Structure 1
Amino acid sequence: MLVNITRKSLITFYLAIFRPNFVVSHANMSTESVDADKYSVAYVTVPNNDVGKTIGHGLVKNKLAACVNIIPQVTSIYEWKNEINEDNEALLMIKTRTSQVDKLTEYVRSNHPYEVCEVISLPIKNGNPPYLKWIGENVPEN
């Protein structure tokens, strides 16, 4: 029994210490690492796909976004001017540099039909390094 515990302890030690280092080293050899928080995803709701396409094309053309996905048919329930509302909308999922989120927000606000439009962003903590690099290649720094 003592031999089994010792063997199990050695295997556990090996997996805890050496295996993560091998995986990290292997990952670094095959792909370029990317800084966390350097890129963000922003979400914007729009009244319909046509408005989404107009804003999306403008963001990509102006190098404020690398990609804009339009997710149709979302239902939004919210309070506005003391009334509960329910609307069918589309959702834009926008990939950009974190350093460009303020300019992106300004662009959306000036091209959006709502009195108060949603623009929220979250930093991308992890992702496919070649994809994140592609975002950086398509959205220049400030």
Structure 2
Amino acid sequence: MAESYISGTHSMAFITVPNLEVAKKLSHGIVKEKLAACVNIIPGITSVYEWEGKVEEDSELLLMVKTQTVKVDALSEYVRKNHPYEVAEVISSKIDNGNPPYLKWISEVVRVKTS
């Protein structure tokens, strides 16, 4: 019997970081604080962006974070407090569908307190 999934209850969030040390520190903290079930560290990206009126280009890493949608605001707050950038990127997209056992695992790891 297939398990059902309610579209949008889980999200992927993306965070850029300047180096592997920051990537590992943030990733470990995010998982330890139960803000996500898993963080993938993707090396070797180049970011081109405008900052303070100039076009910049930097080598970065990308964190791909899997969590419950209700945790995204807390994740953003954690990143703001622990990220070296003045304006840290945290963007998210809701998960429409996926492997039910994997999505269930995210729910089990990232528990949401119900009142």
Please give the TM-score of this superposition, normalised by the length of structure 1: 0.78
1:78 to 49, 70, 93: 49
Number of the residue aligned with 2:95:
124
Aligned-residue identity in percent:
61
Deviation at 1:64, TM superposition (A): 0.3
- Measure, in 1, the Cα distance between the counterparts of 2:58 and 2:67: 27
Amino acid at match of 1:42: A
1: CA distance between counterparts of 2:28 and 2:49? Answer: 27
Separation (CA, whole Å) in 1 of partners of 2:17 and 2:58:
10
Distance 2:25 2:87 in 1: 18
Matched position secondary structure for 1:108: helix
Cα separation, 2, equivalents of 1:32 and 1:56: 29
Q: Whole-Å Cα distance in 1 between the matches of residues 81 and 102 of structure 2?
A: 29
Q: How far apart are residue 140 of structure 1 and its match?
A: 1.0
Given the two structures, how large is their TM-score scaled by the length of structure 2? 0.96
Answer 1 or 2: which has greater strand percent.
2
2:25 paired residue number: 54
Where 1:115 maps in the other structure, the secondary structure is coil
Q: Which has the larger share of helix?
A: 1
Number of the residue aligned with 1:92 = 63
> RMSD value over aligned CA atoms?
0.7
Which amino acid in structure 2 is aligned with residue 72 of structure 1?
P
Q: 5+ residue gaps in structure 2?
A: none
Task: Give the number of equivalent residue pairs.
Answer: 113
Q: Which has the higher contact order (CA 8 A, sep 6+)?
A: 2
